[in-house]
Structure 1
């Protein structure tokens, strides 16, 4: 043991004592982990507290309601029946009756989405009193407090409301009541009513709860502003007196079912935090009664039951054609003295809508895959820098913005369509995201290639030639000083002391370069790097667009503008640069047709899945897109500026074939020089060579003119006579940096790089 101890101590000699690790980082890390694990505990406790309060309230309501039904002492009292409501309602609609099951039937389940139009009636105006139902309106609003109307109406523009959207959840219940054993004629309905203006995105939402009588298709419900829930126990006062008893027992069954579901949630711990409304204060204080009637169909009841079963649980069997689901009714408010007339409101059942969304998602996925294939082929076809220099980056940038908006829209639709179609809608959203990324990257690549094309090439700086010996003046013999033959003698002087070294001046201490701040570095990077500038622009633009996507008119205007000018920027670039686009006809027509599928579906089809009102201007945009495609194709055939006059062309393109001085006719090689790429001679066309038989004056003028012109202009750009015809001219190409090439050699080189192979300066398009 002693030996081991000595070895241990000897091994510790020369080592620093081990420092204990601080416990503060560990404590902070554990605290952070616990915070992340329990940061939503407060919300869960708050939601649990609300659930428990709701459960206590329901228990209290059902106890008093049960006592009232049994005729014992209770704190609940059913409101007295209003005798002025139904006579006024009968002036606008008629409630249905039970039809012969062999000749007609009603839809038994109204779960779905309804859309229609409404007509507003002010029951206190002079126009209302002049109608046939004017005296009924006066009786209806006789007890209305007119002084409280401005506060109850709020800021909502009631007179401008024209559109109506209703989402209904319909659930049939079985209950037992005296005289009605196991009745299933009553279904509990709940949902939302949304009133909207035709030219505004602002909506007024009302939440309603009520009952639906399956046998005659009538609806009775209370509709209150968003955030308020109607008391189900008051609904028996709204229905006809003949159905009051069974309605009361149906409400008792529904309240018991709600208590059971709430208890199950609390016991299982599956408590969800309640979503907060965007506007806590309701837009109005008006309370409404929703009274409606489902139109009868000419389908027998047995076939209608078979049709509804197939819609809810499709098996593939053949059924009758589904008749239209229509609803008429009124939305009436006594405390605000107004009435909305609901006419010809059509509905689409939830399974049918989900199937429609799934079909749309499948077709949209195929369209996006076609766009992706077209883009891939076009990118591979135009991968060379020479081809990229012809394209406009904004063509693909605008398409990437359209696909980004489409991606966000499809994701939002997948979230709203909670159910089976959500996964189907994710497919076009994913392909749209891929298109956005590829198009943005392709736009960045085009920008990188085209970045140096606008840079002005700096000509090479001439180096001064050394002076020639002939130019140096010779020394004059008479003024030349003869070199001394011996060194001059001086009188001896005293020895001078050695100079003392002077102290050197202190040099300034080197200062460390000031490091720029992060924001300055980021700004310089975005300002100087084309890729960073383009991605920053795209990001900021998308953030602004997505923040405004909730306003319906702005996205439509933005998307319409992108569709209108998606090809216009390519036409402008081709005309400005004097070069064809290089886009294939396959891509032009294919991308245009695929893009217009989405635009025409949502803005031209009246029965689209989002229920967007058709806009006629979308057909003008479609025609404009095809006109632009035709112009691009004609630019390839007839020239980039075929539709412009010569004096309207603002930018002249660089001429690679300027007039060149002809070589000496007596020279053994009739060439302009050597090609800087292949190093072969650039021969002059045979038909344009100088003839040796010419006058002495012409030869002299040619030689002198060429020499003087070369001295005046620098030589190579002096045009004494043209080299060949148009075909001969194209045999050579002179770059702005004064390097000469074969045209074929330069074309092959520019297909790889757009810089000069000798001086590496950027070259304009050939």
Structure 2
């Protein structure tokens, strides 16, 4: 028996009363993918474990040598000589801190957090300063007098220091405690470490340096080293940078810090918590720079008395809800010097944000974003209830749903990534918007697949109009199934066609595996949509890693939220079927998230404001206005007349009237309710009155009047008014219905109730 003759149950998708079995190929592919993801470690964890062990051995060696040096016994360690040419150059650019009156001003005792600012790079080699007349030239010449310019150029690498005008610092400060007693060793000295990121304003490329520094709280000064990511900094050398009176206090901080790092590293190795550094340098990308820096920094003093600053710090570290002074502004001036590369980099008043303040800010954002995504999910579910019928689904554009699905999938990935990076501090709050974004993505993708399946037969539905000169008997008594086939082409059968066994076996043996996989992907609508969406997200994740491409994607996606819906409505000649609350609510929520990141200067990602975002927001709401006007004034109201020729099927063609002397004035029986489709008597009276006026207006020629009467009688058609024409509907398969009956039927299924052929939208 051919496949098309197999008895089917269209309501629940069963064949011969049995549920259709899924093929084993999807399960095999899914299991293979899971196993690949679980077993594909690429050796990163093993390499990271070896790096941890090497770092542990290095720290143990440093501790033993530093302890011996501090005790005055034989040791391989010694402090390098102080470079007397560096300090005059630093003093010219940087004004060091001095003690403040504690009743009038103070310094921040802890600036753990994030700092952003702008900087300027100077080439201080002898060749670059040959034609310069800057006042600090003699100091720079003396500092780099023994520098080999060729070697300096090689160490500087490919990084463009001149274009590195933006700089960001992430810094962690912690007091050094005695490992025996657990007491803080000094109230005036703290160790700081972190990362510096320089950004090339031309390419948006980034250069990362790791730094270790010593912080003197009393005068707000920092002294430290900065090296490219991947090179280890020897913190034992920090005492060589500080002024002579502070060398012993700095040296006392080193041994407990090394012991604490050894203990932490050993614990990580024993517990198996090996973390692969995502920012580790990639050997395939090459080394951007190999310059080593020494730096000094100074905090800008605040106008807050010392006792109030102490209360504020205690409240930040251990919140109790007590009222304190408003946190003062954090600003830092810094100077980086690289003698081996001949580079001086100046940072002027980089503004900072405390990490605890930042985490509270992230929590507030997560709560707001969670509410926004909850509203979006609620609106989508409401819209899915409204558009649950085939006629409602046929109005919706699946591309509008897919655009939003990709946006929500990236939002889910971004929130989860930041939740992991925050190391439990704000991760729980970020899980809420991530979960809701993922749920929203799943609903949008499933709804898009449903829309795709319902709209799949659209291209196969015939759009030719029935011939007006149809024999009335053919309309009143519809022909058999073979009759309309000669007039209207039969829609192509979706799915594989039955082939002879020999041909199928031959094709199967000659078809490559990749082609078979592609045919499998494209044969199932659900698999095809999910596979296309998966590839699109994978490519998009790669593209959006670039800041420029990320902004372009946001602009493109937000400018195309409702554009596919507008195009579909205009092409199909039907309204969108989307409720006002869904259109306005979804647009408001999407635009709110976009404005937060691209307009708010204090957003959690520190994205610089872009004024063109307001134009993009207005364009989104302009699209909403067009969709609403399409529902009110027609889908093509904004198009010129020559573009309004929408190729849609007309269910209300002009049909001939039945004989006036027939006992029943009807076009036939409705194929759904089986009642007669009656002709309105007022329509016949209007047609006869029109004929009488035509006869009385021409009195000059009786013959012409008589011929006009008979010709008018032959051309009387149903269609004298819009109401009359809409009382019946003629399907492409020539089955006639009441319009009201067919509308109710199409709200359930979009096939003809008599011949089961697909029907176009009514």
TM over 0.5: yes
Map of 1:217 onto structure 2: 220
Map of 2:173 onto structure 1: 170
After superposition, residues 335-414 of structure 1 pair within 5 angstroms as 335-414=340-419
Q: Verify the 8 A CA contact 1:48 1:271 in the aligned structure 2.
A: no
Given the superposition, is the C-alpha separation of residues 365 and 601 from structure 1 closer, same or farther in structure 2, using an over 3 Å criterion? same
1:648 aligns with 2:643: yes
Residues in 1 aligned to 2:533 and 2:254: alpha-carbon distance in whole angstroms: 56
Residues in 1 aligned to 2:627 and 2:416: alpha-carbon distance in whole angstroms: 35
Partner SS, residue 90 of structure 1: helix
Q: Verify the 8 A CA contact 2:544 2:553 in the aligned structure 1.
A: no
Residue deviations 1:703-755 (CA, integer Å, cap 9, x gap)? 78998xxxxxxxxxxx7535321222211222222222211111111111112
Map of 1:92 onto structure 2: 93
Partner SS, residue 598 of structure 1: helix
After superposition, residues 199-598 of structure 1 pair within 5 angstroms as 199-262=202-265, 268=270, 270=272, 272=274, 275=277, 277-280=280-283, 282-457=287-462, 461-462=482-483, 513-514=505-506, 516=508, 519-598=514-593
Residues in 2 aligned to 1:747 and 1:353: alpha-carbon distance in whole angstroms: 57
1:151 CA drift (Å): 1.2
1:49 CA drift (Å): 6.3
1:51 CA drift (Å): 5.3
Residues in 2 aligned to 1:464 and 1:387: alpha-carbon distance in whole angstroms: 29
Map of 2:493 onto structure 1: none
1:698 CA drift (Å): 8.0
Q: Verify the 8 A CA contact 1:121 1:128 in the aligned structure 2.
A: no
1:77 CA drift (Å): 2.6
Residues in 1 aligned to 2:589 and 2:342: alpha-carbon distance in whole angstroms: 51
1:362 CA drift (Å): 1.0
Name the TM-score, length of structure 2 as normaliser. Answer: 0.82
1:750 aligns with 2:746: yes
Q: Verify the 8 A CA contact 1:175 1:249 in the aligned structure 2.
A: no
Residues in 1 aligned to 2:166 and 2:436: alpha-carbon distance in whole angstroms: 34
1:401 CA drift (Å): 0.8
Map of 1:192 onto structure 2: 195
Partner SS, residue 581 of structure 2: helix
Map of 2:727 onto structure 1: 731
Mark the runs of 5 or more structure 1 residues left unpaired by the alignment. 1-35, 466-508, 708-718
Q: Verify the 8 A CA contact 2:176 2:185 in the aligned structure 1.
A: no
Residues in 2 aligned to 1:759 and 1:699: alpha-carbon distance in whole angstroms: 45
Map of 2:28 onto structure 1: none
Name the TM-score, length of structure 1 as normaliser. Answer: 0.82
Residues in 2 aligned to 1:361 and 1:512: alpha-carbon distance in whole angstroms: 56
Residues in 2 aligned to 1:45 and 1:625: alpha-carbon distance in whole angstroms: 50
Residue deviations 1:128-169 (CA, integer Å, cap 9, x gap)? 832221221211221211011221111112111121111111
Q: Verify the 8 A CA contact 1:175 1:250 in the aligned structure 2.
A: no
Partner SS, residue 537 of structure 1: helix
Q: Verify the 8 A CA contact 2:230 2:281 in the aligned structure 1.
A: no
Residues in 2 aligned to 1:310 and 1:249: alpha-carbon distance in whole angstroms: 29
1:135 aligns with 2:130: no
Residue deviations 1:478-537 (CA, integer Å, cap 9, x gap)? xxxxxxxxxxxxxxxxxxxxxxxxxxxxxxx98983473654443334334333322221
1:633 CA drift (Å): 0.8
Residues in 2 aligned to 1:384 and 1:127: alpha-carbon distance in whole angstroms: 80
Q: Which moved more, 1:566-575 or 1:307-316?
A: 307-316
Map of 1:103 onto structure 2: 104
**Structure 1 vs Structure 2 CA RMSD:** 3.2
Partner SS, residue 194 of structure 2: strand
1:307 CA drift (Å): 1.0
1:223 CA drift (Å): 0.3
Mark the runs of 5 or more structure 2 residues left unpaired by the alignment. 1-36, 467-480, 487-500, 696-702
Map of 1:79 onto structure 2: 80
Residues in 2 aligned to 1:337 and 1:742: alpha-carbon distance in whole angstroms: 89
Match of 1:183 among 171, 183, 186: 186
Residue deviations 1:204-243 (CA, integer Å, cap 9, x gap)? 1111112000111100010011111222222112111221
Residues in 1 aligned to 2:419 and 2:333: alpha-carbon distance in whole angstroms: 31
Residues in 2 aligned to 1:760 and 1:706: alpha-carbon distance in whole angstroms: 37
Partner SS, residue 252 of structure 2: helix
Residues in 1 aligned to 2:532 and 2:728: alpha-carbon distance in whole angstroms: 42
Residues in 2 aligned to 1:432 and 1:294: alpha-carbon distance in whole angstroms: 41
Partner SS, residue 77 of structure 2: coil
Larger-Rg structure: 1
Q: Which moved more, 1:283-292 or 1:585-594?
A: 283-292
